[in-house]
Structure 1
Amino acid sequence: MQQNLQPIVKDLVLIGGGHSHAIVLRMFGMKPLRKVRLTLITAAKKTAYSGMLPGHIAGYYSHDECHIDLQPLANFAQAQLYFDRVVALDLENNKVLCANGLVVDFDLLSIDIGSTPATGLYQVQQNMRSQLNQYRNYWNIGKSLIETVGKNSQAPISIAIAGGGAGGVELALSMQSRLHRILRQTQQPIQNLEIHLFQRGQELMPNYHQSVRHQIQQILTERGIKLHLGETVCIAATNHNKTKQIFEIK
């Protein structure tokens, strides 16, 4: 790692290797700020780009193609890089405390650690957490389901997605596209697959123009994705007669 030989006036510490901080590293590499020491603390060595999630789920991009390697990016920015998990902030003394005992001083602090599932959906949250722990990121949610379909394509499949925003719509269409290809390759009827999309409000993608919402709803209906509008998912019950997966995404 290259060292900044100029006297340091400010310590800028970034917690988390998300999109925003990846951009900060790139911009620092292109145009460094004099007398500013940049430090990144992140638990993951690679950060996933969420914009490529639908394409990854659909099978168009590999896992590596969807991830940014933070080490060379930090080297480019001449930033200090620590792979650790932040456990506390000492705001009186401007210190970041990490799980492995690392203490990092800061003058300016930026936090970009992403979000976690809502605590109300206990079983949904546990399902997502188990897959998050196994694959270290939600870009591989559904991988086990895809493998199951490939091995036993005759089994009925029911997928429920809670959240009818742009992300939920993209996920529904991407998973359907991927699984339909698998079913066709194994010469099994695509009727074995059911995808349900639940939306708390009465309309999908409420932040978009009405013409867009209408077109998206029409596409989903034409593709056989079952819409449940005005419905709030509060619990996920196990059905042993079907392969059942539930994903919570906005």
Structure 2
Amino acid sequence: MARSKDPPPKAGVMASGGEYARDSATQRGAAAIGFDLIASAIETADLGAGDAPLLIADFGAAQGTDSLEPIRLALDALGRRSDGRPVLCVHTDIPGNDFTTLCETLEESPDSYVRDHPEALALMAGRSLFGRCLPAGQLRFGWTASTLHWLSSAPGPVAGHFFVQLSDDADARRAYAARSAHDWRAFLDGRAAELAPGAAVVIEDVAMDGDGVMGSEELFNRLNDALLELGEKRLLSA
């Protein structure tokens, strides 16, 4: 009997086996822009009194490869201030994330922070960053990079271009702008509830200038042309 093909993953489920991690060099490079902010943020953060564990979080962890260096930098900075206090490092992402690969990355990667920081314990939270992920008033440091441009859900189809900002579909642009604003407020509300007084968050992501330009428009136009060509050759279908 012939083996049946595995069904395609449903929407919102990340491909397993480290596929994302192998193709995320661009995201890692973008995240590095924010690395210098980590130590300065923690140097001025209020870590609270006593010897209770410090709670830090990585919002939008994916498969973990892009999280290793920023969390290591955070732990280095905490170590200079906290005199060996235990640290709970919570890696959050949506329930459909590939948490198996994330766990394997933290355990097996030669770059994993757990190798050099025995005081750190890695934890997972399968919750969207557009809501509460952590206990109220407990978070001392948060990090997120190349994540917030992913919306909580797509408001609808986009006509004329795969990238809504370059589409002539005015209704779609308005709908996506409204969803983006809603998600940004939801993210801030979630972190406002979780952060301890005097805590710090470093956020790195794509943005537009005052004229609505991101700098990647030509790349997206070329990608759109390639998709149209594949469709015309019937090598790609909706």
Give the alignment's TM-score, normalised by structure 1.
0.32
Give the alignment's TM-score, normalised by structure 2.
0.34
Choose between structure 1 and 2 for higher RCO, CA contacts under 8 A separated by at least 6 residues: 2
Q: Decide which structure has greater helix share.
A: 2
